[in-house]
Amino acid sequence: MIDNLSRYAYNDLAFTHPRTEALALIRHTRGIASSPHLWPQGSTLDISLFDMSDKAKEYVKKNINLWQPYTNLKFNFINTNDGDIRISGKEDGTGNWSLIGTQAKQKPVYEPTMHIDLIQTPDRLNHSIRHEFGHALGLLHEHQHPDNNIQWDKEKLYDESEKLGHTKQVTDENFLNHPDSTTTITSAYDSTSVMHYKVPPEVTTDGVGVAFNEDISEGDKQFIASLYPPVPLDKPQIVLLSA
């Protein structure tokens, strides 16, 4: 059955932050991104968190910061609700969603650009925050990569999605349609990406599914680093002084 990522319990987990030395070893990137909606290189992104407790804010921040070592972007969490990326945790039944990258700039400043359903099991909550913030950085759904090898049984997929209240159009847009090749950057397909939905074997014609991915994959790290190349740790910093 297709997962509905909501209606579970909220908890804390321990976090670790990956090191950036491994970036020097990157050779093969994986993923798919919207090229018109990438943030300018080296940007500082002001991030607002609201409609959630302080404890929840810290939890969301820790998950978001797992992306930061693999980019040249700076994540600046602010206490006002007018950030570049505005994340709501309001219990309004809208689930988990995010605008893609700089689409957030087209949204009225008083409206959220991303929403997280905080009532989930820890593994699903981790996935939701990491997945949606990947969208906020410009990444698209990995299961809609043009080179994916998923053998969808469309009628079964539609049936399962309908049970969750999703229309055929919504299912097509979120599962089956491939993004416009003229406005996307792609590399090798990565079935372990946090940007990939779980695919139950029951909705495929060959009985081969894709497992639930909680973590940001190595392919995700490599791909986001190719989009926003981090400054190597051993690269000397150049400081220009005015005369």
> pLDDT digit string (tens) for 100-142?
999 999 999 999 999 999 999 999 999 999 999 999 999 999 9
For residue 24, give the DSSP letter: G
Could you tell me the residue range of the domain that residue 152 belongs to? 21-227
Residue 189 domain-assigned (yes or no): yes
Residue 45 domain-assigned (yes or no): yes
Percent of the chain with pLDDT over 90: 81
Residue 121 domain-assigned (yes or no): yes
Number of domains in the chain: 1
Start-to-end CA span in the chain (Å): 66
Confidence band (pLDDT; 50, 70, 90) for 232? confident
If we measure between CA atoms, which residue out of 166, 165, 188, 163 comes closest to residue 176?
A: 166
Residue 97 domain-assigned (yes or no): yes
Q: Out of 106-115, 150-159, 191-200, 227-236, which region has the weakest mean confidence (pLDDT)?
A: 227-236
| Residue 77 predicted with pLDDT over 60 | yes
Residue 4 domain-assigned (yes or no): no
For residue 28, give the DSSP letter: -
| Residue 240 predicted with pLDDT over 90 | no
Residue 240 domain-assigned (yes or no): no
| Residue 149 predicted with pLDDT over 80 | yes
- Residue at 132: amino acid letter: E
pLDDT tens digits, one per residue of 209-230:
999 999 999 999 999 999 999 9
| Single pTM value for the model | 0.84
| Residue 57 predicted with pLDDT over 50 | yes
pLDDT tens digits, one per residue of 24-38:
333 345 799 999 999
| Residue 185 predicted with pLDDT over 50 | yes
Q: What's the pLDDT score for residue 235? A: 55
Residue 242 domain-assigned (yes or no): no
78: left (phi over 0), alpha (psi -120 to 50) or beta: beta
Q: What's the pLDDT score for residue 146? A: 96
- CATH code where residue 84 lies: 3.40.390.10
Give helix then strand counts, H and E, for the chain: 5, 7
For residue 33, give the DSSP letter: E
| Residue 168 predicted with pLDDT over 60 | yes
| Residue 19 predicted with pLDDT over 80 | no
Residue 111 domain-assigned (yes or no): yes
